[in-house]
Amino acid sequence: MRVLLKLEIDCDPDAAWRAVRSPRAIAELYGPVLDLAPLVPAGMPTSWSPGDDVPVALSAFGTVPMGRQLIHVSERTVTEPTGEVRIFRDSGIPLTGPLSSLDVWDHQMAISPLPGHPSRTLWRDRLVFGGPTAGLLWPVLWSMWQWRGARIRALAPTWAHDPEAS
The Cα 151–Cα 26 span in angstroms is: 10
Residue 166 lies in a domain: no
pLDDT bracket for residue 162 (50, 70, 90): low
Q: What is the pTM of this model?
A: 0.91
**Cβ atoms 138, 104 nearer than 8 A:** no
Give the H or E element holding residue 20: helix 13-20
- 3-state SS, residue 65: strand
Range of the domain at 19: 2-159
* Close Cβ partners of 54 (under 8 Å, ≥ 6 residues apart): 23, 38, 40, 44, 45, 70, 71, 73
Q: Where are the beta strands (DSSP E) in the chain?
A: 2-9, 34-38, 53-60, 64-80, 83-90, 93-94, 104-114, 117-130
The answer to whether 113 touches 120, Cβ cutoff 8 Å, is yes
Q: Which of 158, 117, 144, 128 is nearest to 8 (CA)?
A: 117
Q: What is the pLDDT of residues 74-120, one digit of tens each?
A: 999 999 888 899 999 999 999 999 999 999 999 999 999 999 998 99
CATH of the domain at 53: 3.30.530.20
Q: How many domains does the chain have?
A: 1
Is 76 within the bounds of a domain? yes
Indicate whether 165 belongs to any domain: no
At position 66, the amino acid (one-letter code) is M
Position 125 in a domain: yes
Residue 148 resides in a domain: yes
pLDDT digits (tens, 9 = 90+) for 35-65: 999 999 988 999 999 999 999 999 998 899 9
Q: Distance from CA of residue 47 to its chain's centroid?
A: 13
